[in-house]
Amino acid sequence: MGLTVPSWSPRRGLPFLRIYWQRVLSLLYPPRCVACRRVGAVLCTSCMRAFPPIRPPVCPRCGHPLPKVAPCQTCRRGILRALDRVRSAARFQPPLREAIYALKYRGARALGPVLGAYMAARLRPQALTVDLIVPVPLHAERHQRRGYNQATLLAQPVAEVLQAPLATEALVRIRPTAPQITLPFSERQTNVAGAFCCPDPSYVRDRRILLVDDVMTSGSTLEACAAALKEAGARSVWGYTLARALPDGG
């Protein structure tokens, strides 16, 4: 008689119960900032404002901060071959460093969209023409263990702001590699050389690609990805990372 009582069904009921349970949990255990431990959000606004951005002047090719716009020493030695250009949003320093460790090693998946939005906000979309966004893949075993690829989470807001499709299967890591951060610079290139391939080159042929990753250290991982993409026929490969670890730590 004009009043309908919605009938309970597992399909309707379970998401409702999950949301209800999440609210109960967030009252019992409110989120804390991964960097400063303040209660309220998984990453507080004052920590986000403290991220040390990388601003020009930088090396035109690899984006290394310099006193003036000029090719850096590494680029003068021709270290980057397949990778056409790289930029990073900020320096790999606290509190960004803590946030990246939490995202990668402590299962703080909720940080992915927050940090990805930070990357997207620091891009100038008008300065970029991109056909495809490709996150740096994890090896299948590590992906399964972690439950997500942090580079894909970061790449989603970047793809939205650039209005370009996100291709998570264009590139795969065909062999497991030691985390670059655990190795000296001299071993990083051999660690990742030949670790990536494009299973279906038609995805990337003649495309202008933007590779997305969390941290750039020596650039070897991005370079190995770019080599696989170029071999499959990509027209250009640019890299964009959330953070850049600089040799002087600065």
- The burial of 96, by beta-carbon neighbours within 10 Å (0-12 exposed, 13-18 middle, 19 or more buried), is given as buried
- The first and second tokens of residue 205, run together, are 């042929």
- Which among 134, 137, 128 is positioned nearest to 161, based on CA atoms? 128
**Least Cβ distance, residue 107 to Zn ion (angstroms):** 18
User: Using CA atoms, how far apart are residues 133 and 225, in angstroms rounded to an integer?
Assistant: 13
User: Using CA atoms, how far apart are residues 200 and 178, in angstroms rounded to an integer?
Assistant: 26
**Least Cβ distance, residue 210 to Zn ion (angstroms):** 18
User: How do beta strands 196-197 and 172-173 pair?
Assistant: antiparallel
Based on CB atoms, which residue is closest to Zn ion, 75 or 174? 75
Based on CB atoms, which residue is closest to Zn ion, 159 or 242? 242
**Least Cβ distance, residue 137 to Zn ion (angstroms):** 25
User: Using CA atoms, how far apart are residues 74 and 228, in angstroms rounded to an integer?
Assistant: 21
Residue type (1 letter), 25: L
Based on CB atoms, which residue is closest to Zn ion, 51 or 196? 51
Based on CB atoms, which residue is closest to Zn ion, 31 or 201? 31
Based on CB atoms, which residue is closest to Zn ion, 61 or 109? 61
User: Using CA atoms, how far apart are residues 226 and 236, in angstroms rounded to an integer?
Assistant: 9
Contact 91, 58 (CB under 8 A): no
- The first and second tokens of residue 11, run together, are 């399909």
- The first and second tokens of residue 40, run together, are 């309220």
Based on CB atoms, which residue is closest to Zn ion, 47 or 136? 47
**Least Cβ distance, residue 33 to Zn ion (angstroms):** 3
**Least Cβ distance, residue 54 to Zn ion (angstroms):** 13
Q: What is the DSSP letter of 39?
A: B
Based on CB atoms, which residue is closest to Zn ion, 68 or 145? 68
Tokens 């009582």 sit at which residue?
5
**Least Cβ distance, residue 179 to Zn ion (angstroms):** 24
Strand segments, DSSP code E, in the chain are 85-91, 132-135, 172-173, 196-197, 208-216, 236-244
Q: How many CA atoms lie within 13 A of 52 on its CB side?
A: 13
**Least Cβ distance, residue 118 to Zn ion (angstroms):** 14
| Residue numbers at the binding site for Zn ion (CB under 5 A) | 33, 35-36, 44, 47, 59, 61-62, 64, 72, 75
